[in-house]
Amino acid sequence: MSATPHRLVLTGGMLFDVARDSRHEGHLLIEGGRIAAWLDDAGLARLDAVPRVDVAGCLMAPGLIDLHTHLGEPGDDDAETIVSVTRAAAAGGFTTICAMPDTQPVTDTPAAIEYVRRIAARDGAVRIEPLGALTMGGAGTHLSELAALAEAGCVAFSDGDRPLGDPAMLRNALRYASMLDRPVCLTALEPRLMRGWAMHEGAVAHRLGLPGAPDCAEEIAVARDLALAAHTGARVQLGIITTARGVALLRAARERGVPFSAATTPHHALLDDRWVLGWLGTRPTEGLDPTRLPPYDAATRITPPLRTPDDAAAVVAALADGTIDLLVSDHTPRTSAAVEREYRLVPPGITSLETSLATALALVHAGRISLATLLRCFIDAPARLLGRPVPRLQPGEPADLVAIDLAHDWQVDPQRFHSRGRTSPLASQSLRGQIALTMCAGRIVHDDGRRPVVG
Amino acid sequence: MGEPAIVPGGRRHVLDLDDFAAEEISAVLETARSMQEVLGRRIKQVPALRGRTVVNMFFEDSTRTRISFEVAARALSAAIVNFSARGSSVEKGESLLDTVRTIEALGADVIVIRHAEAGVPQLVAHAFGGSVINAGDGRHAHPSQALLDLYTIHARFGSIAGLRVVIVGDVVHSRVVRSGLWGLTTMGARVTLVAPTTLLGPAAYWHATWPEVTVTTDLDRAIDGADVVMALRLQQERQDAGLLPSLGEYRRRYAITAERLARAAPHAIVMHPGPMNAGVEITPEVATAPQSVIEAQVGNGVAVRMALLYHLAGES
């Protein structure tokens, strides 16, 4: 992509104010990496010498923030590099991705944090903010030097997708973290109920002969994590919430006023365990079609597992009423060699940065959540959890933004992903809503091929 | 060999019985009867699969199933190659699918595969240009065992529809049960699964796929008037995993004993897919009683596997 001009006008976009849930058309002047002004038609006419990009009809919003991205680099750059993951992020509308600490090495030292920040600044198309490992090696037995990690610039603490099994250890970790003004992102799963699991425990797993992870593994962990959050006063984010039982506990905690943040993914809201059945199941009458996949497809192996249709419906309801306030991609790149194997032994995780927004938009198009809710879950809530001002498309703000062509239908083709990861359960499915243009710090980092800079 | 009932080439893989209609099962059983006749001859061989290569890929220990397929392939004049994961390229880190691609390049027509992980035959079928027969994958499916059980039941009763079949044991972990349920329910049998709750699983999980099946923890009631009683192998590891207090308690409640068998129909038969733990899930006395068809099951297995191989790889 050629260098973005220092001054640029994005013309004809639909400006969306999440706070007021209002839209109006206008033109956005970008200058020196920041938003300089909103222009009406007369204002645009006065700037006819300034280069323009036509984003007519597109929804304009601040860049999305992903709190849960797994990197490949350092450690597994066959699966993903900083270049490929940030290009994938840009293509998915994300201008900031928060990197899970489960790289090789694990980011449990200031040097590891600084390394990720350095290569991110050098190679990244978008911003990468590293999380620090809550425990050494993410192994759950010894606390990392959390204060040193915070000073080195980590934005949050987490052990990635590995749940901390020992409640006494978790209590100590939360108490210690509470003095450091960093949130702790927890995986709400009880590992002792998930030994040898392949998918969600239920009728589908039973038919396929696969060992299951029961929903109570989440329910127990949610209860425990909520209790420890209240007890320690730590700022916690519970993730990734996937079950009706987990949602019920969270909703009750919201009603009591317990402060917490909770995350889910668009795929857990929209897909379910029938996707593991693939063409052995029945074709749905509308929406996405799981029968296009073969049974036991590696792209359906996800942690936490895809749950039942009732669970997915409960997750959507929780997004709609604010019980769950965060959407994350849980992007997890894998090489094809790593996933071409026995289903239960496939390392869980899918390539999702480039499909997350469009997947979540399917809920908006179906009238199940509002567009404002979707944007709050991808923009406002992550910013708040990171302790930052909520991004707005206002003069003076950094030009981290996205133009979304809400009506554009496209077919998911993993071979055309920018990510090196190719595992997606959505392969060949049709989604509505595509990123027209992504800008990070005033630089165009992605466009849909129909956005030439004119003038 | 008489006129075979099945038309070769009509099916590519046998991964489970979930895609077998009653007519196809009947056709396989009828072909198996022709094969049984071949096996009764002095020279137990026909040239149906001459020039074809069958590869046995057994990633899990098995004696009877592997040898059964081997004898079946030889009786049809196919070349049979036994691949053992032990000492192979798999042990040197080659992936399963790379191994399959190598075997394809070496000219295999049929892969017979057994693996401890559910879904592996589907994975292999996707990558392999020939035919795949599932010889048991995890707790998922074991279609040739289910077919030989159907054959054995049919041989005794002349039909399957309406029979009351009671299956006792570790049903939740059993691939024999899952494939058996597809076959038995398709053929119109009424099936009851019996086990302690930890080896039974929730009734709703069974009913979601097989709505007709009855599940219960009470063997003494379930066995009342049964036509077929099938015991399953109980693995020691179930006790180690905390699913059972002891083998003794299991035996007292769930072993097929002569006293319990007396409550079944007078003509009832006793089956077991093997290998047996005589003295645990079945008493030695019952295993060798006149009602026991356990030995016949083994012999029938060869004929049924010949029928399957003929079905997939025979000249049409």
pLDDT, one tens digit per residue, over B292-310 is: 999 999 999 999 999 999 9
* Closest A-chain CA to B126: A294
A343 in B contact zone (CB under 8 Å):
yes
Q: If you count them, how many residues does chain B have?
A: 316
* Closest A-chain CA to B201: A206
- Both B147 and B123 in one domain: the answer is no
Q: Looking at residue B9, what is its pLDDT?
A: 59
pLDDT at A376 over 90: yes
Nearest to B119 among A204, A206, A343 (CB): A343
Residue A123 CA to chain centroid, in angstroms? 21
- Greatest alpha-carbon span in chain B: 56
CA angle A302, A304, A309 (to 5 degrees): 90
If DSSP codes are grouped into helix, strand and coil, which group holds residue B216?
strand
In chain A, positions 301-340, which contact chain B (CB-CB < 8 Å)? 337, 340
Do the Cβ atoms of B123 and A198 come within 8 Å? no
* Long-range Cβ contacts of A245-248 (<8 Å, 24+ apart): A245/A215, A245/A216, A245/A218, A245/A219, A246/A188, A246/A215, A246/A218, A246/A219, A246/A222, A247/A314, A247/A315, A247/A317, A247/A318, A247/A323, A247/A324, A248/A314
More confident residue, B75 or B86: B75
* Closest A-chain CA to B121: A342
More confident residue, B314 or B247: B247
Q: Nearest CA to CA, how far is A338 from chain B (Å)? A: 10
Q: How confident is the model at residue A287 (pLDDT cuts 50, 70, 90)?
A: confident
pLDDT at A81 over 80: yes
**Integer Cα distance of A361 and A111 in angstroms:** 39
pLDDT at A162 over 60: yes
- Both B254 and B242 in one domain: the answer is yes
In chain A, positions 277-296, which contact chain B (CB-CB < 8 Å)? 280, 294-296
pLDDT in tens, B247-289: 999 999 999 999 999 999 999 999 999 999 989 999 999 999 9
- Both B101 and B242 in one domain: the answer is no
Contacts of B205 in chain A (CB under 8 A): 202-203, 206
pLDDT at A2 over 70: no
- Both B271 and B173 in one domain: the answer is yes
Tell me the whole-structure pTM to 2 decimals.
0.95
pLDDT at B1 over 60: no
- Both B289 and B304 in one domain: the answer is no
ipTM over 0.90: yes
Q: Nearest CA to CA, how far is B15 from chain A (Å)? A: 12
Is B14 among the domain residues? no
Q: Looking at residue A16, what is its pLDDT?
A: 77
As a dihedral over the C-alpha atoms of residue B306, residue B308, residue B309, residue B311, rounded to 10 degrees, the angle is 120
Determine phi and psi for A338, rounding to 5 degrees: -70, -30
Task: Provide the CATH number for the domain around residue B93.
Answer: 3.40.50.1370
Contacts of A343 in chain B (CB under 8 A): 117-120, 123
Is B6 among the domain residues? no
**Integer Cα distance of A301 and A295 in angstroms:** 11
Do the Cβ atoms of A294 and B95 come within 8 Å? no
pLDDT in tens, A396-429: 999 999 999 999 999 999 999 999 999 999 999 9
Q: Looking at residue B239, what is its pLDDT?
A: 84
* Residue A166 a catalytic site member: no
What domains are there in chain A, each with its CATH number? 7-59+399-447 (2.30.40.10), 64-385 (3.20.20.140)
A341 in B contact zone (CB under 8 Å):
yes
Q: Nearest CA to CA, how far is A207 from chain B (Å)? A: 7
8 A C-beta contact, residue B136 and residue B117: no
Q: Looking at residue A431, what is its pLDDT?
A: 97
pLDDT in tens, B24-75: 999 999 999 999 999 999 999 999 999 999 999 999 988 899 999 999 999 9
pLDDT at B2 over 60: no
Is B8 among the domain residues? no
Do the Cβ atoms of A342 and B120 come within 8 Å? yes
- Both B60 and B166 in one domain: the answer is no
pLDDT in tens, A96-146: 999 999 999 999 999 999 999 999 999 999 999 999 999 999 999 999 999
Rounded mean pLDDT, B81-85: 85
A214 in B contact zone (CB under 8 Å):
no
Q: Looking at residue B240, what is its pLDDT?
A: 84
pLDDT at A439 over 70: yes
Contacts of A209 in chain B (CB under 8 A): 118-119, 137-141, 175, 178
- Greatest alpha-carbon span in chain A: 68
8 A C-beta contact, residue A418 and residue A93: no
Tokens of A201: 């425990």
A342 in B contact zone (CB under 8 Å):
yes
Range of the domain at B196: 143-293
Q: What does the DSSP assignment read for B14-40?
A: BS-STT--HHHHHHHHHHHHHHHHHHT
Q: Looking at residue A24, what is its pLDDT?
A: 84
Is B45 among the domain residues? yes
- Both B86 and B128 in one domain: the answer is yes
Q: How confident is the model at residue A22 (pLDDT cuts 50, 70, 90)?
A: confident
Q: How confident is the model at residue A3 (pLDDT cuts 50, 70, 90)?
A: confident
A209 in B contact zone (CB under 8 Å):
yes
pLDDT in tens, B108-157: 999 999 999 999 999 999 999 999 999 999 999 999 999 999 999 999 99
- Both B309 and B286 in one domain: the answer is no
A206 in B contact zone (CB under 8 Å):
yes
Q: Nearest CA to CA, how far is B255 from chain A (Å)? A: 25
- Both B136 and B185 in one domain: the answer is no
Q: How many helices and strands, by DSSP H and E, does chain A display?
A: 15, 19
Mean pLDDT, all residues of chain A: 95
* Closest A-chain CA to B116: A342
**Integer Cα distance of A18 and A422 in angstroms:** 33
Do the Cβ atoms of A341 and B123 come within 8 Å? yes
Q: How confident is the model at residue A23 (pLDDT cuts 50, 70, 90)?
A: confident
**Integer Cα distance of A375 and A382 in angstroms:** 10
pLDDT at B18 over 90: yes
- Both B117 and B237 in one domain: the answer is no
Is B158 among the domain residues? yes
pLDDT at B17 over 80: yes
Do the Cβ atoms of B96 and A344 come within 8 Å? no
**Integer Cα distance of A422 and A193 in angstroms:** 30
If DSSP codes are grouped into helix, strand and coil, which group holds residue A237?
strand
Do the Cβ atoms of B118 and A208 come within 8 Å? yes
- Both B106 and B229 in one domain: the answer is no
Rounded mean pLDDT, B200-219: 98
Contacts of A337 in chain B (CB under 8 A): 95
Contacts of B175 in chain A (CB under 8 A): 209
Q: Looking at residue B84, what is its pLDDT?
A: 79
Rounded mean pLDDT, A348-364: 98
**Integer Cα distance of A125 and A84 in angstroms:** 9
Is B110 among the domain residues? yes
Nearest CA-CA partner of A105 in A65, A144, A150? A144
Q: Looking at residue A18, what is its pLDDT?
A: 67
pLDDT at B316 over 80: no
Tokens of A357: 């927004």
Considering its fold, how many domains does chain B have in total?
A: 2
Is B148 among the domain residues? yes
Is B151 among the domain residues? yes
Rounded mean pLDDT, A204-227: 98
Q: Which of A297, A330, A380, A405 is catalytic?
A: A330
Q: Are strands A401-411 and A59-62 parallel, antiparallel or unpaired?
A: antiparallel
Do the Cβ atoms of A340 and B119 come within 8 Å? no
Which helix (DSSP H) or strand (DSSP E) does residue B269 occupy? strand B269-271
- Both B304 and B288 in one domain: the answer is no
B43 Cβ contact list (under 8 Å, min separation 6): none
Q: Looking at residue B159, what is its pLDDT?
A: 97
